[in-house]
């Protein structure tokens, strides 16, 4: 079973908005055995939308579309689909009541919102309990096209509650199963060389992919076929072989963001954590608290951008800053100890570095980041080097620190 996704909106093409919808949809469709083979983004132009819809329906049995359903003049998806499917817009009392319900207490109803209650006559209208855009399900010659709102929160709610269950019912499909493996500190080509012999002997129904992330590498095995138990068995077998080859370099044998894994380990061991951040500027705390329920183990952070804050709140000694500088092993060690003391936690992470683009010196070029992680009296440090741009320097340091603490605890 193959699907295509079409995302609509000038803002996607001129790059003012990154299309995150299609990745989310691809992931969810994959879980129920529907494989997305193409994503197409087009502008809010009738001809271009018609073209994309027509070719997608010729190639795939299922087409999901997002965007172009807002109440304003630039949104033309609904009208365009009416033309394609040879139908017209009719006023729906039910959709209108839903719009009234959704907008109640948020904004006053006006003629533009009311226009959203006009829906294609020969389509099934699915409920949208979180927004005013109509969700329409068309069928033609055995193929299905669903038009969804482009606002991510509306799209994900409608997909989860309405579209996915209907797709499960309508289509009976191949199973697609994945296993993910997280590997520490490996350049792609070195890892590929190490895995070459094993990879060449993989069964035909299994495929390996390398997905480099800042600070680590994700490997993904994908199996596809009719019989689920057999696929699981094959994946287990190949997974075992892979683990044996990777040994200690394997960091986790499932797909999991470093902050989620760290959270699980801390919860399991009943430990608390804090961060002391200079160059990562709060990003480690933001990553840790992105996990729902993190308040059980995360107490807080001190973002110490200014040296005075490092001294006042983290107890870094003025002599240390003067002798070794803020970006030094000695300073991050004092920072990580200070975080545990001040915030009264069992563990802590600390960073101090030069994120760039300015601020580098010959001794400490942009991209130099000292990292320390600690659990009680045990402290580990690491020097990250190499400049990959401000954002990436920060992201790599966060990943590295989170992985280091997980490692230290295990």
What part of residues 292-351 is at the interface with its own copies (CB under 8 A)? 292-295, 298-306, 308-309, 312-313, 342-344
Chain positions 183 to 222 lying near its own copies, rule: CB under 8 A, are: 187-190, 192-193, 199, 207-212, 218, 220, 222
User: Of 268, 281, 409, 279, which Cα lies nearest the Cα of 348?
Assistant: 409
What does the alpha-carbon distance between residue 335 and residue 320 come to, in Å, rounded to a whole number?
11
Among 83-91, 111-119, 376-384, 399-407, the segment contacting its own copies (CB under 8 A): 111-119
User: How far does Cα 201 stand from its chain's mean position?
Assistant: 31
> How many Cα atoms occupy the beta-carbon half-sphere of 202 within 13 Å?
23
Can you tell me which residue has the tokens 């709140």? Answer: 313
Which residue, 23 or 410, has its beta carbon nearer to its own copies? 23
H or E, element range at 82: helix 77-84
> Which residues 6+ apart lie within 8 Å of 319 measured at CB?
none
Of 111 and 319, CB closest to its own copies: 111
Residue nearer to its own copies on the CB measure, 139 or 311: 311
User: Does residue 79 touch its own copies according to CB under 8 A?
Assistant: no
Site membership for its own copies, residue 30 (CB under 8 A): yes
Task: Give the closest residue to 194 by CA, choosing from 259, 242, 255.
Answer: 242
Q: Which stretch binds its own copies (CB under 8 A): 78-86, 109-117, 134-142, 241-249?
A: 109-117
Total Cβ atoms within 10 A of residue 68: 26
Show the site string, 346-385: x = touches its own copies by CB under 8 A, - = not. Answer: ---------xxxxx--------------------------
Interface residue with its own copies among 61, 281, 360, 365 (CB under 8 A) is 281
Question: Pick from 111, 322, 362, 363: which binds its own copies (CB under 8 A)?
Answer: 111
Nearest to 101 by CA among 130, 133, 125, 124: 130
Tell me 185's DSSP state. Answer: S
Query: Which residue lies nearer to its own copies by CB, 123 or 302?
Result: 302
Cis geometry, peptide bond prior to residue 185 (ω within 30 degrees of 0) = no
Piece of 35-43, 84-92, 237-245, 402-410 that binds its own copies (CB under 8 A): 35-43
């Amino acid at each position: 079973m193959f699907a295509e996704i079409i995302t609509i909106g000038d803002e996607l093409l001129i790059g003012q908005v990154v299309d995150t919808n299609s990745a989310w949809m691809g992931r969810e469709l994959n879980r129920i055995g529907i494989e997305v083979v193409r994503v197409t983004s087009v502008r809010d132009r009738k001809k271009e939308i018609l073209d994309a819809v027509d070719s997608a329906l010729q190639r795939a049995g299922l087409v999901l579309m997002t965007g172009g359903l807002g109440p304003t003049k630039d949104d033309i998806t609904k009208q365009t689909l009416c033309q394609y499917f040879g139908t017209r817009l009719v006023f729906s009392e039910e959709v209108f009541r839903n719009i009234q319900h959704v907008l109640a207490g948020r904004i006053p109803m006006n003629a533009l919102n009311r226009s959203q209650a006009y829906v294609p006559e020969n389509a099934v209208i699915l409920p949208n309990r979180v927004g005013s855009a109509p969700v329409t399900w068309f069928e033609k010659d055995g193929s299905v096209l669903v038009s969804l709102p482009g606002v991510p929160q509306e799209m994900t709610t409608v997909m989860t509650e309405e579209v996915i269950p209907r797709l499960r019912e309508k289509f009976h499909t191949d199973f697609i199963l994945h296993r993910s493996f997280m590997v520490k500190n490996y350049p792609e080509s070195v890892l590929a060389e190490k895995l070459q012999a094993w990879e060449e002997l993989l069964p035909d129904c299994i495929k390996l992919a390398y997905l480099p992330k800042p600070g680590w590498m994700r490997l993904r095995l994908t199996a596809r076929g009719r019989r689920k138990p057999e696929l699981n068995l094959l994946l287990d077998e190949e997974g075992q072989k892979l683990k044996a080859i990777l040994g200690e370099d394997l960091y986790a044998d499932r797909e999991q963001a470093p902050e989620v894994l760290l959270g699980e380990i801390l919860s399991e061991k009943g430990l608390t954590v804090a961060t002391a951040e200079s160059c990562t500027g709060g990003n480690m705390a933001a990553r840790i608290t992105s996990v729902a329920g993190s308040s059980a183990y995360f107490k807080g952070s001190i973002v110490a951008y200014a040296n005075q804050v490092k001294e006042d709140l983290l107890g870094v000694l003025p002599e240390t800053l003067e002798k070794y500088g803020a970006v030094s092993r000695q300073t991050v060690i004092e920072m990580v100890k200070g975080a545990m003391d001040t915030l009264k936690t069992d563990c802590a992470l600390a960073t101090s570095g030069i994120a760039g683009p300015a601020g580098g010196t010959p001794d400490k070029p942009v991209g130099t980041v000292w990292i320390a992680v600690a659990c009680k009296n045990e402290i580990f440090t690491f020097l990250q080097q190499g400049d990959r741009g401000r954002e990436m320097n920060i992201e790599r340091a966060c990943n590295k620190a989170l992985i280091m603490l997980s490692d230290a605890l295990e």
